[in-house]
Homo-oligomer: A and B are copies of this chain.
Amino acid sequence: MPRRGPGWRQHGCSRRAVRFLEPVLLLLLHHRPAHGYTLLEQLDSFGLGGSDPTVVYRALREMEERGWVASVWDREQTQGPPRRVYHLTSLGDEVLRFWVQDLEETRRMVDQFLQQYYQHIIEEHPVQEEP
């Protein structure tokens, strides 16, 4: 079921509930500085595989505008054009802590949602009494 493309919403399917990109980028940069192209590849391991490169690069630039990350150009260690290597700022570190709080709440909300759903299912199909 595609979660993208024009008009997909008409077809009764639904897109992901999480907006995860920015937090994951911050987390990756919290581990170590990196440039967009490698970050793009690392997104896979957080369920964000197949993200559009444009979207990732834009997110990084916008986070730099907000002062969450900063970048330096690297023309030496590259297998192509210059790399823009991002690192986390102290503001970005704060923002990441904020996201962690948010995601702790999120986890509780999701847990509650799922728990309620399965509760409904159990109530719909009560266990048959043995005669």
- B-contacting residues of A (Cβ < 8 Å)? 1, 9-10, 12-20, 22-24, 27, 30-31, 45-47, 66-68, 91, 94-96, 98-100, 102-114, 116-117, 120
- Identify whether the interface residues of A are mostly helix, strand, loop, or mixed: helix
Could you tell me if B106 and A17 are in contact, using CB atoms closer than 8 angstroms? yes
Could you tell me if A46 and B103 are in contact, using CB atoms closer than 8 angstroms? no
For the complex formed, measure the closest distance between the CB of A96 and the CB atoms of chain B, giving whole angstroms.
7
For the complex formed, measure the closest distance between the CB of A37 and the CB atoms of chain B, giving whole angstroms.
21
Total copies of the chain:
2
Q: Which of B22, B67, B110 contacts A12 (CB 8 A)?
A: B67
For A108, list chain B residues within 8 Å (CB).
Answer: 47
Could you tell me if B14 and A116 are in contact, using CB atoms closer than 8 angstroms? no
Q: Which of B14, B47, B103 contacts A99 (CB 8 A)?
A: B14
With CB as the reference atom, state the residue of chain B lying closest to A11: B66
Contact A116-B27, Cβ < 8 Å, known A18-B18, A18-B106: yes
